[in-house]
Structure 1
């Protein structure tokens, strides 16, 4: 990946909406390593790569 390119990322709320899950489930999955979260800023807000979320969607029946 080039250093000049910025990859768009999703917030915890955006991931929860996309997967039709509660935000606490996304946080728990992040803590358990089910989905990778990247901590940003001084508060340590979580951001998720779109490709990671789509990969999770494609290999699981989590939204059913």
Structure 2
């Protein structure tokens, strides 16, 4: 099984931080600056990150909107 198959389609902030090895505040800044946009859910507006966007960032490719 490939790593791509083990990762859910939407990642939590904690999962994304672990994969990218960055702090949560970095993800918030990236979302604000358009580097890695988050999808917001629920009344708390929790952030989720698309697997394809995170993997693109890991490969060094630009993330599409």
Shorter-normalised TM-score: what interval? 0.7 to 0.9
Segments of 5+ residues of structure 2 without an aligned counterpart are 1-7
* TM-score, length basis structure 1: 0.77
* TM-score, length basis structure 2: 0.76
Higher helix share: 2
Segments of 5+ residues of structure 1 without an aligned counterpart are 1-6
Cα RMSD, aligned residues only: 1.5
Where do 4+ consecutive residues of structure 1 move more than 3 Å?
A: none
Larger Rg: 1
Size of the aligned set, in residue pairs, is: 54
